[in-house]
Amino acid sequence: MQSVQVGALRLPAIAVGCMYLDRIGEAERREFIAAALGEGMNFFDHADIYGGGECESAFGEAFAKLNIPRDSIVLQSKCGIVPGKMFDFSEKHIVESVEGSLKRLRTDYLDGLLLHRPDALMQPEEVAAAFDKLERQGKVRYFGVSNMHPYQIELLKSCVRQPLVADQLQFSPAHAGMISCGTEANMLTEGGISRDGYILDYCRLHGIAVQAWSPFRYGFFEGVFLGDPKFQKLNDVLEKIGKKYSVDKAAAVAAWILRHPAKTQVITGTTKVGHLLDIAKGADVAITREEWYEIYLSAGHILP
């Protein structure tokens, strides 16, 4: 498995997102985690809110039964969303959220903690106090953010001492505003509008790893583009390029994300062993520049 540098760690290019782990049975969950580990995918992405906490609990229970050393896996979680109510980056919320995650995951430390979505009332001093406390207590080893644009990261950096090593962002061929705002710079086109403050270039300049969430979806959880007739051209091109490298369409998507020179990690959401193993094959495929652009254009983007 190809790896990606995230702060001081080298992590598998294909990460296992755990947002739907509560939707499968216990035995299936153990099989899923074991299969991921068997392929070198030992990085698991969580959040305190996934399944209302059930996903972390389900993982913790399954992992305990597998009897595998804790230090052979990397656990990342997120905090800062109070579903349906507010975002909360207060010191109290961050610290209590991590303590809840630790309990549910049955571990005494998180490898990584991300701030899930920007809190409008964010006070960087409070975040810094929470991070210092969690680091001092050995409860979190690295820190990062999610869904943030450059100035939000800069604001945090004005107080936070620890490096912010990752920004988890939605990214797929069908959700590629991070690319189009660059290729369509200074154009009056829809794609030329930056909705993220040019975060991709910022992350590259500052050595921040991009973690691509929802690699197979479009819109805001509107659906999966794989096999969707609305994305016929994209599916046809993914199929053709996948065939060339003897992989399926999902692996071709992973190869497309990983082909970008930013330090991107693919955060998958499948809970099916077969799908996960198919996607993993994409990490070993190096598509050409021409193929990368062909996939991009087939998703409906333009080149001015």
Ligand X SMILES: NC(=O)c1ccc[n+]([C@@H]2O[C@H](COP(=O)([O-])OP(=O)(O)OC[C@H]3O[C@@H](n4cnc5c(N)ncnc54)[C@H](OP(=O)(O)O)[C@@H]3O)[C@@H](O)[C@H]2O)c1
Which residues lie near ligand X (CB under 6 A)? 17-19, 45, 116, 146-147, 168, 213-217, 224, 226-227, 248, 250, 267-272, 275, 278
Q: Cα(152)–Cα(154) distance, rounded to whole angstroms? A: 5
Best CA proximity match to 257, nearest among 215, 297, 299, 290? 215
Residues 6+ apart with CB under 8 A from 249: 226, 227, 235, 238, 239, 242
Among candidate residues 20, 50, 202, 245, the one labeled active-site is 50
**Residue 20 annotated among the catalytic residues of the structure:** no
Instruction: Name the minimum Å distance from CB 126 to ligand X.
Output: 21
Nearer to ligand X, 213 or 231 (CB): 213
Instruction: Name the minimum Å distance from CB 177 to ligand X.
Output: 15
Of all residues in this chain, which one has the CB nearest to ligand X in the complex?
Answer: 269
Best CA proximity match to 43, nearest among 149, 142, 169? 142
Nearer to ligand X, 129 or 241 (CB): 241
280: which 2 tokens? 């993993």
Q: Cα(161)–Cα(168) distance, rounded to whole angstroms? A: 20
Nearer to ligand X, 2 or 189 (CB): 2
Nearer to ligand X, 57 or 214 (CB): 214
Tokens 């305990």 belong to 64
Instruction: Name the minimum Å distance from CB 187 to ligand X.
Output: 28
Let me know if 196 is exposed, middle or buried by CB neighbors in 10 A (0-12, 13-18, 19+). middle
Instruction: Name the minimum Å distance from CB 53 to ligand X.
Output: 14
In this structure, the number of other CB atoms found within 10 A of the CB of residue 235 comes to 18
Nearer to ligand X, 125 or 236 (CB): 236
Residue type, 8: A
Instruction: Name the minimum Å distance from CB 238 to ligand X.
Output: 10
Active site residues: 50
